[in-house]
Amino acid sequence: MIRVAKGYHLKYKQEDIPINGWAIESRVYAEDPYKSFGLPSVGRLSQYQEPLNLSNVRVDSGIQEGSDISIYYDPMISKVCDYWI
């Protein structure tokens, strides 16, 4: 059980935590905007290129160019995380 949910106080207050950067996460989905983004857009991924040599960008994906997109998995095919200090 999480102690805060049980009524315990956190060790730090918000004012004790300095802001020392920013982060943005973008998610790339294989969904069809013409179908209200409701279902995965199936097929073969014909083009895919991740950002190269950027030390402040992280890409989490399990795909590559030529991968097949199926209706049997989550349509999120990639996450791009960017942080700046």
Residue 47, phi then psi, degrees to nearest 5:
-140, 135
Question: What does the pLDDT read at residue 1?
Answer: 58
Q: How far apart are CA 58 and CA 79, in angstroms?
A: 8
pTM, two decimal places: 0.68
The domain locations on the chain are: 23-84
Which tens digit of pLDDT belongs to each residue from 42-58? 899 999 999 888 889 99
> Residue 35 forms beta bridges with which residues?
none
pLDDT at 38 over 80: no
User: With bands split at pLDDT 50, 70 and 90, how would you rate the model's confidence at 74?
Assistant: confident
pLDDT band at 60 (very low <50, low <70, confident <90, very high): very high
Report phi then psi at 73, rounded to 5: -130, 165
Average pLDDT over all residues of the chain = 89
Dist. CA 62–CA 64, nearest whole Å = 7
